[in-house]
Structure 1
């Protein structure tokens, strides 16, 4: 987990407003650790969305008495957290559940049909880029055609793996008592036992 991202996030949280943190492609555990730290200082995880090679992590203030008490205690114990100082210790079980929520949330961003269309577009553009670098002669066209056909053949396998990967984490959330709900955009989300969607909906609607 990058200290730079932690400092940036904690400083944004000082405003008391919903926070959107954009980071270049990173590990699921690293993102879950960021959300966990936010939860130790009065915020809660709201959503995770993907855009190209970047993640957008959304967190919102948690007004619950437990969260506010925990935040006050941690601010007293870790006064230099936003300046790169010591941070509260992580709880592995909490990290695992945050990771599961992030995998499911990012996976529900697109339907399977749209995900297929986007993948075809990206892979076709990739093959075209190879052809451009190899110049437009007969050999290059053949090579590009082979590469494109290979990628298209592998695409259903990749998408199937992605579905199974999300299903694994969905099962983990269900086993932990999380409840499926549909947000304002029609996405299927999971909320903690007895909870609701963080921020009572999407405070970033139109800005995500």
Structure 2
């Protein structure tokens, strides 16, 4: 489990404020609460901090309630087959989701939100990263971390997920390809589908997200 003290030990310790925080201790707290990412510290990008950055990224990518160990490419709920597993971008706690905020609630970057994706029975907790014309880019950071915790989330109700961003584990698809993928942070192990609109060094953006199941493992044609 990640601790703020351990995160501070892995940071450069310059207290320069380039990350937008007062000092490294405050940045460590933001990392621990999923309010910032490793990429927000420009000093960590220097070659001399490469090993510490790698340890920090691994720590943040395996926090409680997100992803532990290998993720199967067959969905747990409906046994649907996935083309690949979608993992978080480096140094981030989960895949990024772009949501439609039907509630019309005023939000700000860094706020904690509580919502249920359309078609999903699981309540999600997310951290707002960007806001653009009613669309929200968020990290999914719960529900495990924020049950009975002190921070009060903003209630959004039902939201529609438009896209995912993350790193691919498995065969890389082509831009424009319709794919089935398994988000590593999905508690249900539910295979999603969508269209690949961006692909750079194994990092992808997938739009037109759908939860429909196409093909089951036990219905594959025999070879």
Do they fold alike, i.e. is TM over 0.5? no
Q: TM-score range by the shorter chain?
A: under 0.3
> Which has the greater radius of gyration?
1
Question: Which has the larger strand fraction?
Answer: 2
- Normalising by structure 2, we get a TM-score of 0.24
Question: Which has the larger helix fraction?
Answer: 1
- Normalising by structure 1, we get a TM-score of 0.25
